[in-house]
Amino acid sequence: MSAEFQERIEAGIKIEPKDEMPEGYRNTLIRQISQHAHSEIVGQLPEGNWITRAPTLKRKAILLAKVQDEAGHGLYLYAAVETLGVTREQTIQDLLSGKAKYSSIFNYPTLTWADIGAIGWLVDGAAIINQIPICRCSYGPYARAMVRICKEETFHQRQGFEIMLTLARGTPEQKAMAQDALNRWWWPSLMMHGPPDADSKHSAQSMAWKIKLFSNDELRQKFVDQIAPQADFLGLKIPDPDLKWNPERGHYDFGPIDWNEFYSVIQGNGPCNRERLQARIDAHRQGAWVRDAAAAYAAKQRAKARVA
Amino acid sequence: MSEWPLWEVFIRSMHGLAHKHVGSLHAPDAEMAIRNARDVYTRRNEGVSIWVVRSSDITASSPGDKEALFEPANSKVYRHPTFYEVPDEVENL
């Protein structure tokens, strides 16, 4: 089947849930899509931290809508995982038990309002760059979920940039707050594209299967090239002394990334790992009675309908 | 607790168009499935009407039957108007 399958991938014919697929392809998708779904869900937490403290009613309404979008994105992706033959309950258990990972960026804290701007601008900006190619990936349900998500992410990035712009044009204290947020979120955002190509163990096979269309380093370069002029426009300084335009390459050069930090956060030693996971465990446990009550009500209504 | 059933969601995006499959979700019953579909799939005016169907009630053709089902139509090119030659002088045909 493997050669036949690969031919189909090369021909650009999408794979759908009932089609035959190699176990490795299925498992890679389950790992990647569930990790992606968990990231959307856990990603609500750092932003949810500021809903009650948003500076104006307008900002609060916008932030609520954004966090609600993240929940929606998680649900589109959970549904895509389910088409591969894993139950929703199992997928969620894997997050709560710590077996499944989520994007390590969400293990950093949101200390000031400017962090909400920096997350939208940088974190959602990096996510968009990673996600746009996935709209064309070989697995139909994943590609379709990504089309919806990418449409909505653009609002997220723009609202973040607008927060940064407002702060950057505000009082010296507000501008300093924006700079501080950029300082803290810059390097973790660069890590969102994943380890360097040389160390990325799944990349080659994922590219052959067209689950991944660009390498981590290509995506990272694209991100830096987009963000650097935007930071100039804001009058903020990216915290990298090596960052400069390279006319020969036609790209920005940038300094080395501290991958030890990346691996340490993935292994659970980021500033908020424990807090994030505990928040999900508590939410799941505290919601149990709602799930049970809704199921009991539905069962009762079905029984009534049978009698009548 | 047993898992809530899975529902397939179909949305009519504009009056005059057909309902189109947009995705799926879990809900305890049809009424909750509609409410959840409103929140998950129509946050930006994507619809004017929602259908939900339990996934287990859908019968799908199998990918293995693709040839038996769809190949017979391949040879019947005369079903398309482009199969017929029309002289240039003839109009309105």
Strand ranges in chain A using DSSP code E only, listed in sequence order: 244-246, 251-253
pLDDT tens for A86-109 read 999 999 999 999 999 999 999 999
Instruction: Classify domain B6-79 at the CATH topology level.
Output: Ubiquitin-like (UB roll) (3.10.20)
Alpha helices, H only, B16-85: 30-41, 66-74
Whose CA is closest to A95, among A33, A160, A46, A50? A33
Contact A188, A257 (CB under 8 A): no
Binary contact (A294, B32; C-beta < 8 A): yes
Number of A/B CB contacts below 8 angstroms equals 49
List chain B domain ranges. 6-79
B40 interface with A at CB cutoff 8 Å: yes
Q: Cα distance from A137 to chain B (closest Cα, Å)?
A: 17
Give me the residues of B, 41-80, that contact A with CB < 8 A: 43-44, 60, 62-63
Rounded Cα distance, A173 and A85, in Å: 52
pLDDT tens for A212-236 read 999 999 999 999 999 999 999 999 9
Binary contact (A301, B29; C-beta < 8 A): yes
Rounded Cα distance, A224 and A208, in Å: 26
A303 interface with B at CB cutoff 8 Å: no
Model's pTM, two decimal places? 0.93
Identify the segments of chain A with pLDDT beneath 70. 1
> pLDDT exceeding 70 applies to what percent of chain A?
100
A301 interface with B at CB cutoff 8 Å: yes
User: In 3-state terms, what secondary structure has residue B50?
Assistant: strand
**Average pLDDT of chain A, as a whole number:** 95
Give me the residues of A, 122-161, that contact B with CB < 8 A: 144-145, 148, 152
Instruction: Work out the widest C-alpha separation in chain B, in whole angstroms.
Output: 74
Rounded Cα distance, A111 and B56, in Å: 47
Adjacent-strand bridge partners of B24: B8
Contact A177, A114 (CB under 8 A): yes
Of B1, B40, B63, the CB nearest to A19: B63
